[in-house]
Amino acid sequence: MRIGIMSFAHLHAEAYIANIRKLSDIELIGFSDTDQERGEHFSEVFKTKCFQSHEGLLDAKPDAVIICSENANHREHVVMAAREGVHVLCEKPIAVSLEDAKIMRDACQKAGVNFMTAFPMRFDPSIIVVKEMLEQGKLGKLYAVNGINHSELPKKHRLWFTQKALAGGGAVMDHTVHLVDLLRWYTGHEITEVYAEISNVLYPGEVDVETVGLVTVTFENGVFASIDCSWSRPNNYPRWGHLQMELIGEKGAVSVDAFAQYLTVYSELAPRDPSWSAWGADPNQTMIEEFIASIKEKREPRVSWSDGFAALKVALACYESAQRKEPIRLKDFK
């Protein structure tokens, strides 16, 4: 199977190259990037071909592509790939509007190609253990969840993350979707109501998007959850981000930290001192293997367009809630 990466705008593209190269039966044909300077840089770093246009990459006849462009460009690139009969793994959030997301779905359905949403945390071992605990009834009835998904300001890694026109929003758009997806997966139910408080209290005047957010959601089965999605970590923090949850049930409680497996590294050569070097499982690897398996087995991937759409809808409802300063019922949110 031949795979390419459409755009190197998203920093996850750097990890995906290594993931693909670990698979003996998969050929990485290269990546496309319309930013010539960025493309040349990463082509040299990873010793792989850079196509100067996305059309050029598709002309090379990949079986599948991973879309790593800016959020606002997902629609264009997914539609381009689908029209060529190419399967799609799309970075999250899948789009910046519900209309764009639906157009992407329709294009993939018409072409008969798979669409998978890049939610790697579904494949993290610690997250899966908690899922199994819930299925086995070890916590009893689930009452509430407290979740955080933090990182530093992503500006120095990729500037576009902090530009509303390209990202569609800030911390809420970037980080809410991961926890929303996991909570939907854990509960087996949909979210019915959203309330959000958002602000740019951390970097006023520096970026035009929100940098902190506190979201509360209510599920149709009564479970209540809070999500802190802030870019609140200092730039010299030892690791990029966090994803943690505390789940409260009738029989007990459990805490999960998806990035707890690391070594603390002290070095004069390190860009940060100290830094945390992860040694645990790589959920990106398992996610890409699932994407490939879904294509080979001609089935829907375990994380589908519907999952990406549901998470996007909650993120967009957060902005509506913050603007109106009141809860939003998702059935009324269009």
Residues of the chain with CATH 3.40.50.720: 2-113
Topology at the third CATH level for domain 121-332: Dihydrodipicolinate Reductase; domain 2 (3.30.360)
Range 2-113: architecture per CATH: 3-Layer(aba) Sandwich (3.40)
Coil, helix or strand at residue 93: coil
CA 268/CA 177 separation, integer angstroms: 37
Q: What angle do CA 127, 70, 147 make, to 5 degrees?
A: 25
> Which of 149, 158, 240 shows the shortest CA–CA distance to 207?
158
CA torsion 197→202→206→208, rounded to 10°? -10
CA 10/CA 268 separation, integer angstroms: 29
| pTM score, whole prediction | 0.95
Contacts of 242 (CB under 8 A, 6+ apart): 148, 149, 150, 151, 233, 257, 259
CA 62/CA 174 separation, integer angstroms: 28
CA 34/CA 195 separation, integer angstroms: 38
CA 244/CA 229 separation, integer angstroms: 11
Residues of the chain with CATH 3.30.360.10: 121-332
Segments in the chain below pLDDT 50: none
Is residue 67 a contact partner of residue 88, using CB atoms and an 8 Å limit? yes
What is the predicted pLDDT for the residue at 271? 61
293: its two tokens? 């398996």
